[in-house]
Amino acid sequence: MDVNVSAGFINFARGFIFSMLALLFFYKKIFKMTLDDFKIGLFVGLMNFGGCIAQTVGVKYTTPSNNAFISAIYVVIVPFIAWLAYKKPLKIKSFIAIAFCLLGMAILTGIMNKGFRINQGDVYSLISAFLYAGSIAYISYGTSETDPTIVTFMLATVQTMGGLGYFFIVDGGQLIDVNWQVAILPLLYMGIVCSFAAQTIQVIAQRHTSATTAGLIMMLEGLFGSLFSVVFGFESFTFSMAVGGSIIMIALVFMEVNFEQFARGRHSMNAPKLWTKDF
């Protein structure tokens, strides 16, 4: 965006690269897509694209730290959507883990030190959080009958068409003074790594975990974003990164501990034992 590539074209480009790679690797299953598969993929694709475009536009009008923190609020929304739409129970430990994750994100992004003021970009970021939450919950519980490779192809296709439409209707179809030498590598990276690789893995992996756990794990993007920023020389490693990242990691470990099984194990260890003798 710093070299004048519009939000619509960014989403079109990454979606187009994503869809071509999905078609190349999964064409046998994609060509067997049913009408039900198409409807499911279209629905999750629309939510995912809405989240992507809202977040991309939000970055333009707010600070990166505000955008990162507000977008991460989807982790709070996911369990409520799972409860309302799919009758998944709300667990107390989920909200404890979520609270710690948000605290970690607040420290990591520097919101606690810089202060927080709502602006236009923050509203877009909040909209993206709701749409991402819906997408995560739906991928976990609403796409079980559809092949995950078809879901990924539909994510890519909707992002391609939605980005193209946004580019012409909202952005005016103009690419003025774009520095393509700088822009091409980030566009390729977003299409290949962030979209095709990451989202394909996400859709497949969510078949084997809950939506709440998936949302918490994906909050690590904030931590990894900060670490990569340090590695690439964009910013220095700080104490807040260490503290915020550690809190997020502790929250994720806390979420994965089965306290009921742990309690049963301790109870069985403390229970009196009846010994028998073989004759």
pLDDT score at 188: 93
pTM above 0.75, yes or no: no
Domain boundaries, the chain: 7-91+116-209
User: Residues with Cβ < 8 Å from 246, sequence gap 6 or more?
Assistant: 104
pLDDT score at 59: 75
pLDDT score at 259: 55
d(CA 200, CA 186): 19
User: Residues with Cβ < 8 Å from 77, sequence gap 6 or more?
Assistant: 129, 130, 133, 134
Altogether, the residues listed in the chain come to a count of: 279
Structure letter (DSSP) for residue 274: P
Helix, strand or coil for residue 260?
helix
Which tokens go with 119? Answer: 């602006």
Q: To 10 degrees, what angle do helices 7-30 and 180-189 make?
A: 40
Which tokens go with 266? Answer: 């301790």
pLDDT score at 277: 46
pLDDT score at 117: 61
Which tokens go with 249? Answer: 């990691």
Structure letter (DSSP) for residue 206: G
d(CA 163, CA 173): 11
Return the percent helix, strand and coil in the chain, to nearest 5: 80, 0, 20
Least Cα distance to 90 among 100, 76, 80 occurs for 80
Which tokens go with 32? Answer: 């067997």
pLDDT score at 227: 76
Q: What is the pLDDT of residues 78-126, one digit of tens each?
A: 888 878 877 777 777 777 877 877 777 777 666 566 555 666 777 887 8
96-to-24, 135, 248, 255 alpha-carbon distances in Å = 43, 23, 12, 8
Which H helix or E strand runs over 217? helix 211-218
Stretches where the chain sits below pLDDT 50 are: 273-279
36-to-46, 47, 144, 146, 147 alpha-carbon distances in Å = 15, 17, 12, 8, 11
**Helices then strands (H, E): number in the chain?**
14, 0
d(CA 91, CA 210): 12
Helix, strand or coil for residue 169?
helix
